[in-house]
């Protein structure tokens, strides 16, 4: 499920992201490696694992990456809990091909995140040694760095204010909009608040324009595939679809409704 409709190896994910290809991903919030394995075989360009708001804490990151890699179709990406170099390094040591770093509001925070994704002299990441990252990405630090994508989130008022400086950060590969938190930063009382719809759309245009000026990728989280398709026509270069836990509930509720109607008839 790529911009060209053809399957590309997960090892090419960072290069494709940097070249601003149209990519579609899926979101994992459940600590369910069997379910993650099923999703990873469907053909999404990447599978994002939520280490911030989901129930996947650090031990689950490794299991999720093993599940994604077992299918050989999608690149595994981890959203870390915070813009913390230790958390970033830990996520990358699982063999993840990228990290999504939340709550980044300044260019300094973006630079710290980018440097945490690179080994010396380009950054501050510690060499993992003969464990999973080297098994998956090779043993030469510079070659490993080239295969890793650093993505920071735009979801705060500070990020909007410092957008151009963030996008110009050396070593940063992409920005990624968290529309729920960004809505709150714009004054919404809840995600979907119609009172900030126009402001949110204006902010999204600002983000895509800044990313394009800087020549970096720009992504957004979407509620469904149709929304992802629309955003990819509006300047975003990658989009993530919903989540496993959301779809689990939606499908189960739909089947319950269908069964109840037939029973009542």
120 class by beta-carbon count within 10 Å (0-12 exposed, 13-18 middle, 19+ buried): exposed
pLDDT, position 4: 46
pLDDT, position 57: 87
Give the CA-trace dihedral at 139, 219, 168, 86, to 10 degrees: -50
pLDDT, position 132: 78
> How far is C-alpha 110 from the chain's CA centre?
15
Do residues 71 and 121 make contact, with C-beta atoms less than 8 angstroms apart? no
Structure tokens at 37: 């394995």
C-alpha 76/C-alpha 221 separation (Å) is 16
Question: What are the residue numbers of the active site?
Answer: 53
C-alpha 239/C-alpha 216 separation (Å) is 14
pLDDT, position 108: 98
Spell out the residues 6+ positions from residue 119 whose beta carbon is closer than 8 angstroms to its own. 125, 126, 127, 141, 142, 144, 145
For the chain, list the domains and their CATH numbers: 10-264 (3.20.20.60)
- Per-residue pLDDT of the chain (265 residues), as tens digits, is 554 456 789 999 999 999 999 999 999 999 999 999 999 999 999 999 999 997 888 899 999 999 999 999 999 999 999 999 999 999 999 999 999 999 999 999 999 999 999 999 999 999 876 567 777 777 788 999 999 999 999 999 999 999 999 999 999 999 999 999 999 999 999 999 999 999 999 999 999 999 999 999 999 999 999 999 999 999 999 999 999 999 999 999 999 999 997 666 5
pLDDT, position 261: 76
C-alpha 76/C-alpha 13 separation (Å) is 9
C-alpha 260/C-alpha 174 separation (Å) is 46
Q: If you compute the radius of gyration of the chain from its CA atoms, what whole number of angstroms results?
A: 18
Alpha carbon separation from 220 to 74, 87, 261 (Å, rounded): 18, 22, 37
Do residues 8 and 2 make contact, with C-beta atoms less than 8 angstroms apart? yes
């Amino acid at each position: 499920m790529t911009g060209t409709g053809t399957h590309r190896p997960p090892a090419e994910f960072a290069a494709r992201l940097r070249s601003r290809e149209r990519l579609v991903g899926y979101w994992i919030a459940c600590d369910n490696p069997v379910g993650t394995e099923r999703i990873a075989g469907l053909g999404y360009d990447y599978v994002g694992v939520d280490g911030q708001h989901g129930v996947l804490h650090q031990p689950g990151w490794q299991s999720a990456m093993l599940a994604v890699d077992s299918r050989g179709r999608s690149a595994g990406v981890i959203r870390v809990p915070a813009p913390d170099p230790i958390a970033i390094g830990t996520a990358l040591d699982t063999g993840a091909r990228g990290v999504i770093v939340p709550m980044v509001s300044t260019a300094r925070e973006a630079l710290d995140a980018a440097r945490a994704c690179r080994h010396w002299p380009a950054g501050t990441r510690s060499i993992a040694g003969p464990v999973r990252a080297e098994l998956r990405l090779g043993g030469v630090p510079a070659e490993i760095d080239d295969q890793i994508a650093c993505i920071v989130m735009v979801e705060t008022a500070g990020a909007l204010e410092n957008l151009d400086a963030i996008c110009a950060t050396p070593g940063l590969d992409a920005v990624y909009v968290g529309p729920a938190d960004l809505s709150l930063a714009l004054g919404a009382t809840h995600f979907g608040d119609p009172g900030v719809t126009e402001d949110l759309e204006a902010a999204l245009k600002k983000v895509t324009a800044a990313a394009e000026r800087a020549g970096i990728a720009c992504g957004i989280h979407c509620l469904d595939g149709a929304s992802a398709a629309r955003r990819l026509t509006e300047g975003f270069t990658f989009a993530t679809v919903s989540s496993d836990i959301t779809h689990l509930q939606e499908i189960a509720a739909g089947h319950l409704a269908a069964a109840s109607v037939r029973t009542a008839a």
